[in-house]
Structure 1
């Protein structure tokens, strides 16, 4: 299909406000990327675990990325826009939407004390929803901010705006509702369809600080004159409520049916899938978003990931390390490639630390151990989800780690099942699919999402990969990190991996 102005087919625009950049994609109804744009972002981090960004920089980057993407498109082609952001990132604004604080980012961990207080105050509510409040989540950080004496945060018309809320309000020219996906880590109950008023009262959080909540895909407004001038997007185009970046990547991968899972391997590892019923995880490591079409999107975010390569081999090209490691035929000793201290998924252990349970002959062998170590955590995550009653029938791989052919093959070997590589895997693509949904994101995904390649496990490597996994479980168990149902030999009735 033609992608130029003469073709005239409609496009849907997806926007991803990431940690390091803003990405904008314009996508046709059959999944072709007609245009794209990007602009960089920077933040401020401290050794105390704080991570802030300037909301004004988001707006500037959105304008630059959007203008780059739509410059060659006829305005009448653009049908709708959706925006995703990082989960748990927000700022406080006044009633007119002007920022009163910097943005508290998704991994800002300043609210450790407040997280314990929030967990205690809403223990029954959070248990019913199947998760545990964590310091990086938005509600503990909101409690911290309201108590911190920040300019304007102590009274008056103080409003919480999640990352996309703030930008969409500027696009359309008025305050907007948030979506249930971004609201989850602020304490919103997708099961009850509301904010937990009694818990908020105990915490001293006025409910008027929080936005109204709508389902993903709901029209929030239409691009106004100022938004159009800044971004190049035409005035009057609808902007629909998005989802968090992890859910957006899941949509991009087309993992939207029960039993389908998407594993995003970037700096860290994020796993999300689909279930008909809400999963209840007594450990609190799993949390679930609402599926836009009904059902649930459970998953979790580990602290292992591709960032472990840069941690261990600063300045080295991962492709060079892959080439060296590919010549090795054995499975190395277990290496738990935790980044920093503390694990969030598939088990919650704030005191967990990475380890090497053996020696490595050289960098190639150590690199191979990192690749296997992440794959073991990925399999452990799926085993944990199986133990809670989830089906695991198909796995797609996205994120930067999926660009490594060696790593993809190792992950298929360790999981013991084929893995699928989508043609497009960016969260911005997922937002374009959601913008085109018109009532069913599954339907739009079937038309727009394509598979680039499927990778099967190697039959001659399955036994060695399984042995390596069991050794990793034994090491984690010996350190007291694993709950009983994840220890070696436990829960085998949930193990339905195919063996080729």
Structure 2
């Protein structure tokens, strides 16, 4: 009997597992049965406030939007079928709450950069811990610098007369607020969401001495458990609001990138999931902790003792939205496909003004076009090629760090819906890629929730994640694309953004 068939019998095919995803623009709820069929799905929009480097959301909106999405997703599903749920959220999004779970602050979002003034202090004080954890340093948007901002500047109006935080104040990650509301009490956070707050994934503890030196009170910090741990069950009040049956098991989740990786079924050592949305996010599996002296790649803990290295780029499909608003993208795709790579132009596809984060760190990086453009269709193709080349460079970079990269590759995200772009990306990589039948962070959380029924994560993914298609590269097209890729790498190096050692490794890989 095939492995997938054996795994399919591990789960009750009639049981329903609920995945909840707190994104930037919306909340999504997906109900998936043990055979991988989506039996309910819904979403609700979220709004935020952006001002310069600041990005906030109202935490109460997270709860009201999620409750509405759950009610719709579960409508018509017999309560006894619903067995468990898990929640993912944006990485590094935090708030302070009182002892009853009522928010005291806005939610400081994953890309909020207001804590820049605290980053040097964080990186100096915790240098040994961050080095041992493999990422060397934190960025201003990480949760720990933002926590210092909240404690020392951001919320003085909330402090008591003696300059102290209100009694019972707690640090919550975005997902923690939801699990508190669902269970009716504060729950532990998961190690995935706690990573950017400074949780030591190697020792699996909060680094008490370093946090104390930074002025973070120990009483502020939640307990931490591994993803997949049962945190509690849905309480009566939450059931009335969300429609989730009382007693449904609440399972500790992961951050959105890791959730998407689970949803793609990329769980074996050497497997990688490439999520092409507004930005490009690459997540893989390694049997060992991958350490990056440049601090570009960092690892989460994975199931069964594995590690999940990855990074999030400042480049991605957002370059299309930026340069072609309102354009007929299907028509542009047809024109690009008909060109047979006749245009030599390549666009460096940064999506905004924030510089690059992966596969190199360059805050001053800016978009450019290598070559001449002869019209809108050539510009469009140049952007598609640029993303494909950044993606290949991401793989070359993690290979340079010693991460295993020869396992299966999965494409997910909105960009994967463009069949021509997926083929172009596969040609640029020179690798066969898989396209799941359905994917996304919410689906990943449904798979993780299924482990509460006794299945391993690998067994749950084998039963619930289905491959829709495979895209195989054309060796002739790969050969035509590689010289221009190396020109692109050389230009990044010439501008001082890419380490020459990484460029040399990329060249060696291309010559192989």
Tell me the residue number matched to 1:256: 267
Match among 15, 19, 24 for residue 14 of structure 1: 19
> SS in structure 1 opposite 2:391?
helix
The answer for the alignment partner of 1:404 in structure 2 is 418
Shift in Å, 1:439: 5.4
For 1:79-90, list aligned pairs within 5 A.
Answer: 79-90=83-94
Displacement after TM superposition at 1:293 (Å) = 2.3
Please name the residue that 1:228 is paired with.
239
1:334 maps to 2:340? no
Aligned to 2:34: 29
Give the superposition deviation at 1:157.
Answer: 2.2
Cα separation, 1, equivalents of 2:116 and 2:331: 40
- Which of 41, 54, 58 is residue 58 of structure 2 equivalent to? 54
SS at 2:100's partner residue?
A: coil
What's the Cα RMSD here? 1.6
Residue 435 of structure 1: SS of its match in structure 2?
A: helix
Classify the secondary structure of the residue corresponding to 1:220.
Answer: strand
C-alpha distance in 2 between matches for 1:492 and 1:291: 31
Cα distance, 1:178 vs structure 2: 0.3
Q: Give the equivalent residue in structure 2 for 1:478.
A: 494
**Residues 1:210 and 1:320: Cα distance change in structure 2 (over 3 Å):** farther
Report if the CA contact (8 A) 1:31-1:450 is conserved. yes
- For structure 1, the residue ranges without an aligned partner over 5 or more in a row are 1-6
Equivalent in the alignment of 1:366? 379
Give the C-alpha shift of residue 324 in structure 1: 2.3
**In the alignment, structure 1 residue 461 sits paired with structure 2 residue 477:** yes
C-alpha distance in 2 between matches for 1:194 and 1:31: 35
Cα distance in 2 for partners of 1:468, 1:188 equals 42
> TM-score under structure 1 normalisation?
0.95
Partner of 2:360 in structure 1? Answer: 347
State the alpha-carbon separation in 1 of the partners of residues 158 and 100 from structure 2. 13
- Aligned mates of 1:447, 1:231 — CA distance in 2: 27
Task: Quote the residue 2:97 is aligned against.
Answer: 93
Give secondary structure in 1 for the equivalent of 2:288: coil
In the aligned structure 1, how far is the partner of 2:30 from the partner of 2:322?
Answer: 31
Residues 8, 324 of structure 1: CA spacing in aligned structure 2 closer, same or farther, 3 A cutoff? closer
Q: CA–CA distance in 2 between the matches of 1:182 and 1:26?
A: 23
Conserved 8 A contact 1:178-1:241: yes
Change over 3 Å in CA distance of 1:221–1:465 after alignment to 2: same
1:173-229 superposed Cα distances (whole Å, 9 cap, x missing partner): 001110000000111111110111121122111122111000111111111111001
Paired position in structure 2 for 1:4:
none
**Residue-pair matches, total:** 489
- The aligned residue for residue 315 of structure 2 is 304
What residue in structure 1 maps to residue 5 of structure 2?
none
- Aligned counterpart in structure 2 of residue 119 of structure 1, from 115, 123, 138: 123
Is residue 432 of structure 1 aligned with residue 446 of structure 2?
Answer: yes
For the pair 1:147 / 2:135, whether they are aligned, the reply is: no
Task: For structure 2, list consecutive stretches of 5 or more residues without a partner in the other structure.
Answer: 1-11
CA distance in 1, matches of 2:491, 2:27: 40
Q: Deviations for 1:460-491, whole angstroms, at most 9, x for unmatched residues? A: 2111211111010011011011112212x436
Q: SS of 1:457's equivalent? A: coil
Distance 1:300 1:19 in 2: 18
Does 1:65 pair with 2:69? Answer: yes
Cα distance change of structure 1 residues 463 and 199 upon mapping to structure 2, 3 Å threshold: same
Q: What is the Cα deviation at residue 320 of structure 1? A: 2.9
CA distance in 2: counterparts of 1:120 and 1:338, whole angstroms: 30
Report the Cα distance in structure 1 between the residues aligned to 2:45 and 2:443, rounded to whole angstroms: 18
Counterpart contact for 2:97–2:171, Cα < 8 Å: yes
Distance 1:459 1:491, change over 3 A: closer
Note closer, same or farther for the CA distance 1:104–1:149 as it changes in structure 2 (3 Å cut).
closer
Q: Would the aligned equivalents of 1:271 and 1:299 in 2 still touch at CA under 8 Å?
A: yes
Contact 1:180 1:215 in 2 (8 A): yes
Answer yes or no: is the 8 Å Cα contact 2:400–2:505 preserved in 1: no
- 1:323-352 Cα offsets, whole Å, 9 max, x none, are 222221125322111122311111111111
How far apart are the structure 2 equivalents of 1:426 and 1:181? 17
Q: Distance in 2 between matches of 1:55 and 1:74?
A: 30
TM-score by length of 2: 0.93
